[in-house]
Amino acid sequence: MSFLESLLEELQEQLQNEPTDLTAAQVADAAESERLNVTLAGGVMSRLKQQALAEGRSCSSLANFLIEDGLRRHETLS
């Protein structure tokens, strides 16, 4: 099952258990993942694209991994 299919299934299950007059914000809060808009410097975006291509993955997937890794490393430094 793809990520989008599992997300759709999760949302459908939650909607069945809740009133039908949900707002878009409530539906977004129910999702396990969220979308984030980030503006990157041209050089950073270029490096991200090159690395993602070299690893055979999407820029989004690599960016998610790098953010998670950075947060883990930041916790150990604090």
Query: What is the model's pLDDT at position 28?
Result: 66
Cα 55 from chain centroid (whole Å): 18
Query: Distance from first CA to last CA of the chain, Å, rounded?
Result: 38
67 token code pair: 């953010």
**pLDDT the model gives residue 78:** 62
Q: Looking at per-residue confidence, does 11 or 52 come out higher?
A: 52
Among the residue ranges 22-31, 36-45, 52-61, 69-78, the one predicted with the least confidence is: 22-31
Going from N- to C-terminal start, the domains of the chain cover 41-78
φ and ψ at residue 16, rounded to 5 degrees: -70, -30
Its pTM surpasses 0.85: no
**What pLDDT is recorded for position 2?**
78
- Give me 7's structure tokens: 């997300």
pLDDT of residue 62: 93
